Structure 1
Amino acid sequence: MTDFVRIPDQKRSLFEAPVFSEGFRVFFPLTALYALFSIVIWGLVLADVLPMPFDADPLLFHQYEMFFGVFAGAMAGFLTTALPSWSNTPKIAGAQLAGLGALWLAGRVAFWLLGVLPAPAVFVVQALFPAAVLFIVLPRLWQTKMRHLLWPVLLLFAAQLMSFWELSVFGVFERGLAVAEGALVLMVLTSLAPITMVIVNDALSTRKDGAVFIPRPPMRRAALFCITAFTLAKVLGASDALQGWLALASACAVLNMLQDWHLPGALRTPFAKALYLTYWFFGIGFAMQAGGLLELLPAGAYVSGQHMLFIGGLSLATFMVLIIAGLRHAGYSLKLPKLPGVGILALIGACLVRSLGPLFVPDLNIMPLAWSLFALAFTLYLIHFLPVFLRENAVE
């Protein structure tokens, strides 16, 4: 009789856990958690419930952390997940992915210790994350058809360095933030092209005539050119009139991209509707900024336009990527779950309240409602997706 010896199961290391198998599993929940944390702290600071933890302009630092914390984290999750399949290279996973997540966390912790640690030390720690991301993704990105994403990624890193320099020399960093804003808008509009192709063609799949949605590159390039020119005008301190006309050109160019969407059935799914609305928010945001700069709208229109662009454009686009990429790469079909669906509505509500509220009801303090809706959106996202990211891929 043969004796069988049972070999004990090998223990999996921490870095072999599902959460470290792909970039979206690390950075999507971190992004959502930090968006929730930031907006709660920000709201309490502006409501005078909490003091600012360091002596600085809270508006500038709120914008800074949204750009280089929340949006940069989402960008890292998207790129580290998509690039391996785009470039036919090994996954960015395990200890390498954990290290990137640790650098991102270190940068966020360092930010909130700005009143304790020397500013140069804080910003050196923060610079480690984008430098590591560039080191990992640039060689792969160069091999893909999406290599034009190189420029906004590099521009975002340059914006962070510019912010460091401005803060140390002038005590503010408005030009660095202007570069970051432009880089993120360029990145989102570029990244949305393949995503919208998948989503809209899924919506068109029930048509019997075989209609296909293909966003025309010349329209996108025209929008990217106008936005780049508007960003450059802000950075160089051009006249309000020139900035206003360039903002108006950006609005027209973005809205012109929607011509490709006007196919019967293209907006059949909730995903398609939300992405379509994102372009409208970008366009109207630029138009409101133009109206404020050209004095065609009330003085507060410029700031309202910025928030429509930040919340309705950048934040909603980011939220949609977190949902769509989260579902697809975790093995689920493109069916909108209920909680994230309510989260989309909450984020749209936050955009409308924050951008239009000060113009139509200036005497009413509705900012807490906007912050609450923003926080609700990311809370609902986390409730649904956090368990998804911690377990193995589903099979549907």
Structure 2
Amino acid sequence: MGSLKHVPLWSLGFRPFFLAGAMFACVALAVWGLWLYGHFPQAQATVGMLAWHRHEMPFGFATAIIGGFLLTAVPNWTGRPGLSGWPLLGLLLVWLAARLAWWLPIPQSGLLALQLPFLPLLVLVLGRELMAAGKRDNYPILVVLALLAGCQALTLAGIAQDDAGLQRRGALAALWLIAALMSVIGGRVIPFFIQRGLNRTNGAVGHPRQTQALLIASLLAALLIGTGFNEVPQPWLAALYALIGTLHLLRLWRWYDRGIWRVPLLWSLYLAYAWLLIAVLAMALWQLGVLPQQSLATHSLAVGGMGGLILAMIARVSLGHTGRPLKPSSAVSLGFALVLLAGVCRVFVVPFASIGLGLSVVLWCAAFAVFVQGYTRTLLTPRQ
């Protein structure tokens, strides 16, 4: 029984969670798109598909990738062994049970209960390792994960009470918490990847104070959304999003190197991060009453930012941690472009033509399908 940790798939967290998360990204968006066009039955009759979509994109898809990344990164930060073998399989099964529960004939109370354990278990596993190694500078990540669990509880409470407003608050607050994580992790790794990928001796470096400012501002934005301040536009809140946008813009300016356009693993990260800037500027415009739909800001963050950064990161991390050359196939490089185009269709085409929604779904699914097709063997086989 103990030999399971020697099976490549269960040797480190990124392998099963990146693969499962990418597969789920394809399936979940395909289901959502088919339902929108009247070709797929609803999830649990007591819940509804909009509630399912709101919950599953941040708490199903994104948390799988976040979990896989952190279960791999924390051992590097601490020098301690990562979760592997049967405990890793068990954690994946907890995540998988939550995804399947929406389609099983079980009481709503059972469905909601199955959603809750994954994030607290992830906090427990990661917190134990960080505390044992005394890595206090990484404790904010645990705080963000704990707040994500709180947002999930808020979303599930909205589902239990059939309160669409509560559901929306929980899901949107979770998206901005994920943006906070992307800001923190992106601020650490993107300049390093650019410097290393282009062999620059004096490339951009991370700025800890700027990262702290982005983290605090993003947490404040999530808190205000979760507590209901975002139900209607609040002009004074535009200043908060303008501040976040300024910090993102400074990063993008400092990180820029024209050499990135020759390296798909770099331009994909850079352009995906730029979607965070688009999202916060769109939120500022919505707060000022200039932008009519907050959903455009939300999907800038969710599709272009979250989707784009996740795809680029899992492609890069999977190659690096399996000892492969850091050169994705041309198909995977095309996938990077497809997910960014999915963001363009969802944000810039949908307001003018409804076909943009269908195009966005197809492009997203194709992008993650390319990853699954190109990386399944890599994730299932030993390190080279």
More deviation in 30-39 or 333-342? Answer: 333-342
**Contact in 2 for aligned 1:234/1:243 (Cα 8 Å):** no
**Contact in 2 for aligned 1:19/1:25 (Cα 8 Å):** yes
Aligned to 1:312: 304
1: distance between equivalents of 2:254 and 2:370? Answer: 32
- 1:68 to 2:62 alignment: no
- 1:393 to 2:374 alignment: no
Aligned to 1:111: 102
- 1:248 to 2:242 alignment: yes
The correspondence for 1:53, drawn from 43, 49, 59, is 43
Aligned AA (2:182) = V
Aligned to 2:313: 321
Aligned AA (1:189) = S
- 1:83 to 2:77 alignment: no
1:146 Cα deviation from its structure 2 partner: 2.8
2: distance between equivalents of 1:20 and 1:156? Answer: 26
- 1:342 to 2:347 alignment: no
2: distance between equivalents of 1:13 and 1:211? Answer: 45
**Contact in 2 for aligned 1:233/1:243 (Cα 8 Å):** no
TM-score, normalised via structure 1 length: 0.89
**Contact in 1 for aligned 2:43/2:52 (Cα 8 Å):** no
TM-score, normalised via structure 2 length: 0.91
**Unpaired runs of 5+ in structure 1?**
1-10
The correspondence for 1:216, drawn from 164, 187, 207, is 207
Aligned AA (1:117) = I
**Contact in 1 for aligned 2:43/2:102 (Cα 8 Å):** no
**Contact in 2 for aligned 1:103/1:129 (Cα 8 Å):** yes
SS in 1 for 2:328: coil
Aligned AA (1:85) = N
- 1:369 to 2:359 alignment: yes
Aligned to 1:92: 83
Aligned AA (1:230) = A
2: distance between equivalents of 1:371 and 1:15? Answer: 36
Aligned to 2:129: 140
Aligned to 1:203: 197
Aligned to 1:3: none
**Contact in 1 for aligned 2:120/2:146 (Cα 8 Å):** no
1:379 Cα deviation from its structure 2 partner: 0.7
- 1:271 to 2:261 alignment: no
More deviation in 222-231 or 41-50? Answer: 222-231
1:21 Cα deviation from its structure 2 partner: 0.8
- 1:230 to 2:224 alignment: no
Distance change (3 Å), C-alpha of 1:196 and 1:106? same
1:293 Cα deviation from its structure 2 partner: 2.9
Aligned to 1:285: 279
Aligned AA (2:142) = L
**Contact in 2 for aligned 1:285/1:305 (Cα 8 Å):** yes
The correspondence for 2:173, drawn from 171, 176, 179, is 179
More deviation in 80-89 or 32-41? Answer: 80-89
Aligned to 1:26: 16
1:16 Cα deviation from its structure 2 partner: 2.9
SS in 2 for 1:43: helix
Q: How many residues align?
A: 375
Aligned AA (2:138) = M
2: distance between equivalents of 1:150 and 1:267? Answer: 34
Aligned AA (1:141) = L
1:203 Cα deviation from its structure 2 partner: 3.4
1:74 Cα deviation from its structure 2 partner: 0.4
1:267 Cα deviation from its structure 2 partner: 5.5
**Contact in 1 for aligned 2:43/2:49 (Cα 8 Å):** no
Sequence identity (%)? 24
SS in 2 for 1:49: coil
2: distance between equivalents of 1:264 and 1:365? Answer: 34
2: distance between equivalents of 1:294 and 1:73? Answer: 35
Larger C-alpha radius of gyration, 1 or 2? 1
**Contact in 2 for aligned 1:155/1:179 (Cα 8 Å):** no
**Contact in 2 for aligned 1:353/1:370 (Cα 8 Å):** yes
Distance change (3 Å), C-alpha of 1:128 and 1:232? closer
SS in 2 for 1:146: helix
SS in 2 for 1:163: helix
More deviation in 171-180 or 65-74? Answer: 171-180
**Contact in 2 for aligned 1:219/1:256 (Cα 8 Å):** no
Distance change (3 Å), C-alpha of 1:330 and 1:283? same
1: distance between equivalents of 2:228 and 2:116? Answer: 26
Distance change (3 Å), C-alpha of 1:52 and 1:256? same
2: distance between equivalents of 1:202 and 1:269? Answer: 11
- 1:158 to 2:130 alignment: no
**Contact in 2 for aligned 1:349/1:370 (Cα 8 Å):** yes
**Contact in 1 for aligned 2:20/2:64 (Cα 8 Å):** yes
**Contact in 2 for aligned 1:203/1:267 (Cα 8 Å):** no
Aligned to 1:131: 120
- 1:42 to 2:36 alignment: no
1:85 Cα deviation from its structure 2 partner: 1.9
**Unpaired runs of 5+ in structure 2?**
none
Distance change (3 Å), C-alpha of 1:381 and 1:13? same
